[in-house]
A = this chain, B = another copy of it.
Amino acid sequence: MSTTAINPTRNNDYPEWYQQVIKAADLAETSPVRGCMVIKPWGWGIWENLQRELDRRIRDTGHENAYFPLFIPLSFLEKEATHVKGFAKECAVVTHHRLEEKDGKLVPTAPLEEPLIVRPTSETIIGESFSKWVHSYRDLPLLINQWANVVRWEMRPRLFLRTAEFLWQEGHTVHATEADAREETMKMLEVYRDLAENVLAMPVIMGEKTAGERFPGAVNTYCIEAMMQDRKALQAGTSHYLGQNFAKGSDIKFTDESGAIQFAHTTSWGVSTRLIGGMIMTHGDDDGLRVPPKLSPRHIVILPVVPKPELGAKVMAYAEELANSLRGLRYGERELSVHIDRRDERGGEKNWQWIKKGIPIRIEVGPRDMEAKNLVLYRRDRPHKEKTILSAADLPARILGLLDEIQGAYFSQAKAFRDANICKDIRTPSDFRAYFTPKNEAKPEIHGGFVLGKWSGDAKAEQELAEMKVTIRCMPLEQSGTNGTCVMTGKPASVDAIFAKAY
């Protein structure tokens, strides 16, 4: 029998552990609509906090929010040839706008003249607006962001990581010059790195995708890549320099300072609810979820321990006094959120519910703590029995520091794990193959982590990679500048790349 709260453990069955953590934390569940999920209040609270943190960063870098249609006319999607090819296989298509009863059965009627696609991404529909908004170089840069739902039909959906409908923000910007657009692309990649590392406590590698992994229609795609605890990679955010491809498709032109008419340069960039999947797989342990304090819907739960009913009112009053002592404090973007769990259930049961939900701090108070004006504090980054006795008077002065320590500990732990699982020593194709070959047939998920090695750019070798289910995650922005041999072909190569199995 398992002695952990989550069964199976990460080592026993990582994919199933992931599902069980989500269930135990009451984050989300599948719905009767294929590939669409229901995000429950605890999961939604995490997403709201993530939105708040990112939204501030998007505004601070000069962008404004707006909202564009859910539907894209089929002909719009075709405006960029590579783009439509990239999304054609996963489009939800609206073809009718009415239901009618026929032979006792409700069927779609009133066919549309032109089918509408539920947006898989919005370059083409937003481009249409931009072509009307941009006339002169004075209108540039145009810096717009949208928070929205998008749909990409998924054959193998997985909660948060790959769902047919997902929620995201998509930034879309227009610039006069390539240099300006490239600067924007990299600026937003850095915003994503900051969000991932300082809010999600998830270390990431910034890099560029290979041609094969580019966003359909982009000139360059940059990404942040994180390592999950099964040592697979998760693409956590992307930022694209789109060149003039979409500007030409959507006719986004402007008169420059010399009076000449030019096509603009555009960018787009997005992160999604997938980040919550990344958070779960980066920080979760065999007792359930661990939510970084900056994202946790609640920071602290106070669990009153009432051994005798007649003491209930007093202990509850003491719990309220503690909660009140924290009132008005702010952590990051919002007020400290303190919850008193008043439910009339077994204390151990309640305690474990909060452990599984990953709340950063649990505080237990009983009659003796009350008399001593103490409290017992448990941190989710420490073993679940490790307690700290604190004086109630010290709590307000200590609490923000404790939350910072937990936030920091999650990042350090994740970074240590990732760094320990990046292999930099592979020089030969045979070593490379061995590294990605499962050591144990019964557990194919146990294999090497990331390889940081040289890549010659050989197309055939990229095919072989695919057969091994390995992909080039990115060519890190930080390049060593050294020469070496390609890990796949043994040919001379100078580009550093990250190779990994991925979600």
Contacts and interface: CB of A to CB of B under 8 A. Distances in A.
A422 interface: no
A134 interface: no
A129 B67 contact: no
A69 interface: yes
Interface in A86-111: 88-100, 106-108
A441 B148 CA distance: 45
A241 to B, nearest CB: 24
Contacts of A442: none
Interface string A9-38: 000000000000000000001011100111
Contacts of A36: 69-71
Given A93-B97, A98-B88, A128-B32, A40 B69 contact: no
A72 interface: yes
A324 interface: no
Contacts of A74: 99, 106
Interface string A98-136: 111000001110000001111000000100110010000
A98 B106 contact: no
A151 interface: yes
Contact of A151 (B70, B78, B117, B128): B70
Contact of A98 (B66, B84, B100, B153): B153
B93 A33 contact: no
Contacts of A69: 31, 33, 36-38, 165
Interface in A51-96: 64-74, 76-78, 84, 88-96
A65 B108 CA distance: 32
Nearest to A115: B108
A68 B31 contact: yes
A48 interface: yes
Contacts of A116: 33, 92
A186 interface: no
Contact of A91 (B68, B99, B118): B99
A413 interface: no
Given A64-B41, A106-B78, A125 B90 contact: no
A297 B44 CA distance: 25
Given A96-B93, A98-B88, A115-B108, A33 B66 contact: no
Contact of A66 (B38, B92, B149): B38
B98 A91 contact: yes
Interface string A126-167: 001100100000000000100011010100000000000101
Nearest to A31: B69
A64 B128 CA distance: 37
Given A78-B106, A97-B90, A99-B91, A38 B129 contact: yes
Interface residues of A, number: 60
Contacts of A48: 65
Max chain B CB contacts within 10 Å: which of A33, A45, A95, A149?
A33
A306 interface: no
A32 B38 CA distance: 31
Contact of A93 (B89, B94, B125): B94
Given A38-B68, A44-B67, A84-B106, A33 B73 contact: yes
Max chain B CB contacts within 10 Å: which of A93, A118, A125?
A93
B31 A125 contact: yes
A39 interface: yes
A128 B31 contact: yes
Contact of A106 (B47, B88, B94, B129): B88
Contacts of A98: 88-91, 93, 153
A49 to B, nearest CB: 12
Given A69-B165, A70-B118, A93-B96, 6 more contacts: A31-B68, A33-B72, A36-B71, A84-B106, A88-B100, A94-B94
20 contacts: A31-B129, A36-B71, A38-B129, A39-B66, A41-B64, A41-B144, A47-B67, A69-B165, A70-B118, A71-B92, A84-B99, A88-B99, A88-B100, A92-B94, A92-B96, A92-B116, A93-B95, A93-B96, A94-B94, A118-B118
